[in-house]
Amino acid sequence: EAGVVQSPRYKIIEKKQPVAFWCNPISGHNTLYWYLQNLGQGPELLIRYENEEAVDDSQLPKDRFSAERLKGVDSTLKIQPAELGDSAVYLCASSLYGGFSYNEQFFGPGTRLTVL
Amino acid sequence: GENVEQHPSTLSVQEGDSAVIKCTYSDSASNYFPWYKQELGKRPQLIIDIRSNVGEKKDQRIAVTLNKTAKHFSLHITETQPEDSAVYFCAAPSRGGADGLTFGKGTHLIIQP
């Protein structure tokens, strides 16, 4: 069984440029998460999807960040414009279903973003 | 929302000794507590989890204990081996028991040969 796939693995951009990250969850997983991980810190939840619906986006900086999961499968996270402080690893995770069922979250390898 | 505190930030133990990592949480509604291991440059991977209806769970050399009254849970690794060297994160549901996770800041476990 393939795991969570993310691309690109690495991205270097100049500040004020746009950037997009792509995630394909494990087949059959209804719940998809985007996390941000700064160096030496734990992952921080940005947004959670149940199928195509964003059910928790309270931590997403909506002035510059956006996300979509149009068909309830793969997802894209976008930053426009990027700032120096956005340099981090962006992790995608998926689980069978969400809510109170507490399924294991499987993480992708992440996209390491460097903003110059 | 949930607040998770994790200690220590760095833990160095001799190979073969035991390691204990402790976490506290703030939301009494939380009832699921996973532990993730992250090796350098790799993705976090679940190593063990516990639900609030039990006080302890064990899987070979790894065990987790939960004290709901005190709102803390701990990871215990016995007979540590070099491959146990990694960063370990505890976590709890972010809000009202729903399953987005709030993670601790991590513990860098170093196994000395």
The pLDDT value given to residue A99: 63
Q: What is the pLDDT of residues A58-107, one digit of tens each?
A: 889 999 999 999 888 999 999 999 999 999 999 999 998 766 667 789 99
Cross-chain CB nearest to B99 (options A40, A42, A102): A102
Q: Quote the pLDDT of residue A104.
A: 86
CB atoms within 10 A of CB B77: 25
Chain B residues with beta carbon closer than 8 angstroms to that of A91: 43-44
In the structure encoding, which two tokens stand for residue B29, read together?
Answer: 């509604």
Band (B98; pLDDT cuts 50, 70, 90): low
Rama region for B90: left / alpha / beta (φ>0; ψ in -120 to 50; rest): beta
Q: CB of B46 within 8 Å of any CB in chain A?
A: yes
- Per the DSSP assignment, residues forming a β-bridge with A23 are A6, A75
Contact B18, B85 (CB under 8 A): no
| B41-97 per-position pLDDT tens digit | 999 999 999 988 889 999 999 999 999 999 999 999 999 999 999 999 999 988 754
**Residue B19's CB: how many other CB atoms inside 10 A?**
18
Mean pLDDT of chain A: 92
Find, among A105, A99, A114, the residue nearest to A3 by Cα.
A105
Choosing among B3, B99, B108, which should be mutated to test the A contact, i.e. which has the most A CBs within 10 A? B99
- Chain A hits for B98, Cβ within 8 Å: 56, 98-100
Amino acid at site A27: S
Q: Check residue B72 and give its pLDDT.
A: 95
